[in-house]
């Protein structure tokens, strides 16, 4: 094939592809003109390169160049208004499960933020959360003690994460935990976007006396890659609409109760 020949004044295609991907990783986007100048090839050639890489799913082509795919879910600020009504209903149902004196853990996410909103009428709770917005909201409610879990802040979630957060979390004795999730999978489990998220939620299930997942119906149609260990030990899954019958059945077999908010 190509014995790593000394650079023949022109970079070969694989070398270009490598460099293009490297730049994408570093800068997030590349332009056709810039690459054509850098490799000293025509713009058509660069476009063909980008087309190839695009067909392999390694980048997305935009007018003037190419951009990297955002691997994660959209940022929190973009999600907060989606299905607001359904989330509020879930919040009311979740708040109904809480009584005075309890220690409550609230996961980060827009649905759990709605749960926090619904809890502003309650008193005498100890709240434990890694979400900046939930802490900010509930710390002003009289009678609530809020413990913020520290750690590196994830901009997408607007919440602390990482090893420090896991360690801080593990110190608490929690009566009830409300967790978010990435999707409700066809086999009746809640799944997640990231290893870290799945691990954190798994630990919380083990830590809390009772754990409920809160998922609005926009999560039904999705698929996310990570299973959450211990899921079957959760007490329930609170949703705002009836999922497909087979998913409900699969969930019932696992154990957690399906609760439909209204």
Q: Which residues bind a copy of itself (CB under 8 A)?
A: 1-2, 4, 8-9, 12-15, 18, 21, 24-25, 28-29, 31, 33-34, 37-38, 57-58, 62-65, 67-69, 71-72, 74-75, 77-78, 80-81, 113, 117, 132-133, 135-137, 139-140, 145-155, 158, 160, 164-165, 168
State which residue, 55 or 100, has the beta carbon closest to DNA.
55
Under the criterion CB under 7 A, does residue 18 sit at the interface with DNA? no
Distance CA 64, CA 70 (A): 18
Residue 235 contacts residue 204 (beta carbons within 8 Å): no
Under the criterion CB under 7 A, does residue 33 sit at the interface with DNA? yes
CB of 45 to DNA, least distance (A): 3
CB of 55 to a copy of itself, least distance (A): 13
With CB cut-offs between 5 and 8 Å by kind, which of a copy of itself, DNA, none does residue 61 bind? DNA
Under the criterion CB under 7 A, does residue 27 sit at the interface with DNA? no
Count of alpha carbons within 13 angstroms of residue 94, beta-carbon side: 37
Residue 126: how many CB atoms within 10 A of its CB? Answer: 17
State which residue, 52 or 241, has the beta carbon closest to DNA.
52
Structure tokens at 105: 């853990």
Angle of CA points 110, 108, 181, to nearest 5°: 75
With CB cut-offs between 5 and 8 Å by kind, which of DNA, a copy of itself, none does residue 18 bind? a copy of itself
> Helices 84-95 and 110-118 meet at what angle, rounded to 10?
50
State which residue, 10 or 171, has the beta carbon closest to DNA.
10
With CB cut-offs between 5 and 8 Å by kind, which of DNA, a copy of itself, none does residue 219 bind? none
80: left (phi over 0), alpha (psi -120 to 50) or beta: alpha
Q: What is the largest CA-CA distance in the chain?
A: 75
Q: Is the dihedral of CA 133, 139, 144, 149 positive or negative?
A: positive
Rounded alpha-carbon distances, angstroms, from residue 229 to 131, 196, 219, 262: 22, 12, 19, 29
- The residue from 61, 132, 248, 250 that contacts DNA (CB under 7 A) is 61
State which residue, 105 or 231, has the beta carbon closest to a copy of itself.
105
Residues that bind DNA in the complex, under the rule CB under 7 A:
9-10, 12-13, 16, 31-33, 40-45, 47-49, 51, 61-65
């Amino acid at each position: 094939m190509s014995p790593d020949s000394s650079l023949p004044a022109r970079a070969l295609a694989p070398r270009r592809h490598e460099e293009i991907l490297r730049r994408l990783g570093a800068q997030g986007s590349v332009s056709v003109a810039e690459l054509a100048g850098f490799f000293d090839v025509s713009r058509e050639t660069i476009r063909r390169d980008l087309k190839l890489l695009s067909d392999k799913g390694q980048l997305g082509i935009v007018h003037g160049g190419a951009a990297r795919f955002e691997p994660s879910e959209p940022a929190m600020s973009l999600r907060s208004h989606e299905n607001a009504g359904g989330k509020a209903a879930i919040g009311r149902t979740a708040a109904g499960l809480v009584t005075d004196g309890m220690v409550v853990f609230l996961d980060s996410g827009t649905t759990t933020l709605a749960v926090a909103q619904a809890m502003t009428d309650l008193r005498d709770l100890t709240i434990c959360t890694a979400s900046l917005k939930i802490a900010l909201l509930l710390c002003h409610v009289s009678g609530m003690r809020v413990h913020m879990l520290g750690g590196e802040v994830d901009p997408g979630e607007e919440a602390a994460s990482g090893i420090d957060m896991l360690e801080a979390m593990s110190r608490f004795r929690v009566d009830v935990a409300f967790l978010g999730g990435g999707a409700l999978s066809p086999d009746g489990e809640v799944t997640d976007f990231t290893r870290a998220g799945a691990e954190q939620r798994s630990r919380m299930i083990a830590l809390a006396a009772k754990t409920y997942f809160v998922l609005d119906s926009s999560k039904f149609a999705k698929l996310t890659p990570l299973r959450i260990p211990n899921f079957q030990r959760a007490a329930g899954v609170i949703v705002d609409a009836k999922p497909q019958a087979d998913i409900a059945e699969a969930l019932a077999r696992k154990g957690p109760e399906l609760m439909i908010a209204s």
